[in-house]
Amino acid sequence: MEKHKHRALLHFLKRSGKPIEDYVNALAEVVDDLNDAYDQLDSKWRLGTEEFLKLMILDGCFILEIMRTCAPVFNDYDPNDPIFSDHGRLYIVPYLKRDMLKLENQLPLLVLEKLVEREDGIVIRLILNFFDQKRVGNMGKCLHILDVYRKSLLEEPDKNVDHKVHQGEDEIIRSATELNEAGIQIQKSETKSLKDISFHRGVLKLPPIMVDDTTESIYLNLIAFERLHVNAGNEVTSYIFFMDNIIDSAGDVSLLHSSGIIQHAIGSDKAVAELFNSLSKDVTLDPENRLAKVHNSVSYYCKKPWNAWRADIMHNYFRNPWSILSVIAAIFLFALTTIQTVYSVLSYANSSSK
């Protein structure tokens, strides 16, 4: 992409009508902040040199031009351009989107804001539009594109269910199929926010999610971001942990799909199950996280005597068609026997009265 980056820079400068030196001077004012944004940065970049600032500008302009290509604005690139055209939007941009969400590819958001020369949130809106994400409330200070994308997934739900804390519960929640057998209804949440997970009166609500070829890369980078940033929070990590617990097999994915929670385009329900199981490797749930309380409430509900008995009946007698037929046949035979017994008693009573 290096040659395309330089082409994007030329288009950006031509459109702005300013020389690159103006942007170098603008970034020079915050060069210390830009240096501090990187860990283990090579010493040659920490001198605040013009070369470092021009590298920031080159990458920043390329990102802005890519996002601008997907926005409903005038496109001054050639229709046959391999990147900044309808062809590039269809065949190249999906891969660039994935790469732009990799933790190692992040550029300080400050660079983009300086290049746009506006601090009214236009860069954040551009990022959210580019990734087809809904803007949430006040995001506060964002570090980079991955941080903006993550916060867009964590909209606060309108209604918070108060979950009571129950001591001594199992740490592993049951699968979606087993929860269904225990009488728990699984429904789609009203929003797509990963925070919009609740359990109330036997109803577990989960946000809908689209699983495709980019899902694994996106969530691995979000998990890595939360693990490496102390004050970032762990909402995405907790969500993946929770989903892994309720997804053990293709049957669980099928149940969640029928409930409108999981839509996927990666081949099979089994592949989706394997994806969530691999994402949660070496992941733990923070006991102070809100999802831990939901987890606790679901476990407590499943251990109630009636729900446990119901789950046992469903698991042992209604797991496959043959078991169901056997139960129906037994009930039918019992009914016939009862009718025959009643008929015999009535016949005997009639004969005795006569």
Over its length of 354 residues, how does the chain's per-residue pLDDT go in tens digits? 899 999 999 999 999 999 999 999 999 999 989 988 888 777 777 665 788 899 999 999 999 999 988 776 667 888 899 999 888 988 999 999 999 999 999 999 999 999 998 766 889 999 999 999 887 777 888 999 999 999 999 988 766 555 555 554 445 678 899 888 888 889 999 999 999 999 988 899 999 999 999 999 999 999 999 999 888 888 999 999 999 999 999 999 999 999 999 999 888 999 999 999 999 887 777 777 788 888 888 888 777 655 444 445 555 555 556 555 665 766 777 777 888 787 777 776 667 666
What is the structure's pLDDT at 153?
Answer: 93
Tell whether 159 is covered by a domain: no
Q: Do 9 and 147 lie in a common domain?
A: yes
How far apart CA 326 and CA 337 sit, in angstroms, is 16
Q: Do 41 and 123 lie in a common domain?
A: yes
Q: Do 103 and 6 lie in a common domain?
A: yes
Tell whether 303 is covered by a domain: yes
What is the structure's pLDDT at 119?
Answer: 67
- Residues 185/204, Cβ–Cβ less than 8 Å: yes
Q: SS3 for 313? A: helix
Tell whether 339 is covered by a domain: yes
Q: In the numeric block, which tokens belong to residue 337? A: 């026997």
**8-state DSSP, 72:** S
Tell whether 157 is covered by a domain: no
Q: Do 241 and 147 lie in a common domain?
A: no
The residue among 84, 88, 80 whose CA lies nearest residue 69 is: 84
Kindly report each contact of residues 251-255 with a partner whose C-beta sits within 8 Å and lies 24 or more positions away, as own/partner.
251/177, 252/175, 252/176, 252/177, 255/176, 255/177, 255/180, 255/186
Q: Do 236 and 288 lie in a common domain?
A: yes
Tell whether 167 is covered by a domain: no
96 CB burial (10 A radius; 0-12, 13-18, 19+): buried
Q: Do 294 and 332 lie in a common domain?
A: no
How far apart CA 45 and CA 13 sit, in angstroms, is 24
Tell whether 30 is covered by a domain: yes
Give the residue carrying structure tokens 């199992």: 170
- Residues 153/194, Cβ–Cβ less than 8 Å: yes
Q: Do 271 and 337 lie in a common domain?
A: no
Q: Do 215 and 252 lie in a common domain?
A: yes
Q: Do 349 and 209 lie in a common domain?
A: no
Q: Do 181 and 145 lie in a common domain?
A: no
Tell whether 123 is covered by a domain: yes
pTM of the model: 0.81
Q: Do 331 and 277 lie in a common domain?
A: no
Q: Do 266 and 233 lie in a common domain?
A: yes
Query: What's the domain count of the chain?
Result: 3
**Domain termination residue (choose one: 289, 309, 329):** 309
- Domain span at residue 234 reads 176-309
What is the structure's pLDDT at 311?
Answer: 45
Tell whether 315 is covered by a domain: no
